[in-house]
Amino acid sequence: MAFKGNDESKNFKIGNFLEILKFLGNHNEDINNVTLCNAPENQQMTASEIQKDIVNAYAIETTNAIIKELGNGLFSILVDEAHDISSKEQMVVTVMTRIFPLKLLEGCVIERFIGIMHVSSTTSLSLKMAIEALFSKYGLSLSSIRGQGYNGASNMRGEFGGLKSLIIKENKSAHYIHCFSHQLQLAFATAKNYVHVALLFNIVTNLLNIVGASCKRRDQLQDKHAERVFKALENNGLVTGKVLNQEIGLKSPSDT
């Protein structure tokens, strides 16, 4: 989240941090009495460095809560690396585990982000050392891993020198699965090279832009859809029931 605004001295686009602080003050009198214009000029706690400290504090508390939730349980890891806009190579580590909320016997699988770190090298050994450093920081162990999910690059899934193999050498139970998100990405990357598929997505994008840009067009489309639903119900082409035939808003390409 980008906290800083273009010009924080103005009321327009003052940044997410100040907007959130202002929102909290408007809805909580105790907060409002000690923040922003109601606080002494040297104690407003809105400087850039203070904003970073507050964000870091939240990150630490959130991560500690995740580690506490993991406890001594088993988990799987998802790891990926990419360079950011500043051309630094970053590695992201996510853990997957099963929790049992409200004493549900079957439980549910959740993913928790636990860290992002700069890596100077993307060799499998360097990535493993970075993971070990992160695990050491939070008291986690490679022996608790029961699954690994990476992309298909040789440094990640290589049979002899990949990250997968290095971890399996220490933990035979850390089974590897090619990340499904990466498989989907590869499928889309290949599919877009076919003219008919590319044309389909181009038509859908144009349709969403045309309809979504106008409230009148959206209303017309929804009215037409409602007419078709009613007609289908009259002809027994549709059945009624809970969560059936509900109105669904069109989404922009970025939301899908």
CATH code, 160: 3.30.420.40
Could you list the residue range(s) of the whole structural domain that residue 212 is in?
Answer: 192-240
- 120 and 222 in a single domain? The answer is no
Q: What's the pTM value of the predicted model, to 2 decimals?
A: 0.61
Judgement on whether residues 176 and 92 belong to the same structural domain of the protein = yes
pLDDT in tens, 32-63: 887 777 777 776 677 777 778 888 888 899 99
Residue 77 near residue 148, CB atoms below 8 Å: yes
- Domain contains 253: no
Last residue of a domain, one of 161, 188, 215: 188
Please name the residue that has the structure tokens 């009148």.
216
Q: What is the DSSP string of 68-131?
A: HHHTT--EEEEEEEEE-TTS-EEEEEEEEEEE-GGG-SS-EEEEEEEEEEE-S--SHHHHHHHH
Dist CA 140 CA 49 (whole Å): 30
* Shared-domain flag, residues 87 and 150: yes
pLDDT higher than 60, residue 251: no
Average pLDDT, the chain: 81
Residues 220 and 184 in one domain: no
Q: Average pLDDT for residues 150-177, to the nearest whole number? A: 87
Q: Are residues 113 and 182 in the same domain?
A: yes
- As a whole number of angstroms, the distance between CA 117 and CA 90 comes to 6
231: pLDDT strictly greater than 50: yes
149: in domain: yes
Q: How many whole angstroms separate alpha carbon 173 and alpha carbon 145?
A: 7
149 lies in the same domain as 163: yes
Contacts of 11 (CB under 8 A, 6+ apart): none
Spell out the residues 6+ positions from residue 251 whose beta carbon is closer than 8 angstroms to its own: 208
Give CA separation, 77 vs 25, 33, 37, 239, in Å: 39, 44, 46, 44
Amino acid at 101: P
247 beta partners: none
* Order of strands, sheet of 75-83, starting from the edge strand that comes earlier in the sequence: 108-118, 89-99, 75-83, 145-150, 175-178
Q: Residue 249: inside a domain, yes or no?
A: no
pLDDT exceeds 80 at position 186: no
β 108-118/145-150 pair status: unpaired
Token duo for residue 234: 């009259």
Q: What is the mean pLDDT of residues 108-125?
A: 87
Mean pLDDT of 19-34: 83
Whether residues 103 and 183 fall in one domain? yes
Please give the tally of structural domains in the chain: 2
Do 146 and 236 fall within a single domain?
Answer: no
- 201 and 177 housed in the same domain: no
- The answer to the question of residue 9 being in a domain is no
Give 226's DSSP letter.
Answer: H
Residue type, 167: I
The answer, yes or no, to whether residue 94 has pLDDT greater than 50, is yes
pLDDT of residue 235: 84
**Is residue 171 very low, low, confident or very high in pLDDT (cuts 50, 70, 90)?**
very high
Neighbours of 164 (CB within 10 A): 23
Q: Is residue 121 part of a domain?
A: yes
The answer on 180 and 222 residing in a single domain is no
86: Cβ–Cβ under 8 A, 6 or more apart, which residues?
none
What does the alpha-carbon distance between residue 157 and residue 165 come to, in Å, rounded to a whole number?
A: 7
pLDDT of residue 250: 46
Residue 202 lies in a domain: yes
Structural domain includes residue 27: no
Report how far residue 178's alpha carbon sits from residue 176's, in angstroms, rounded to the nearest whole number: 7
Domain co-membership, 154 together with 217: no
| pLDDT band, residue 239 (cuts 50/70/90) | confident
Co-location of 177 and 217 in the same domain = no
Residue 4 belongs to a domain: no
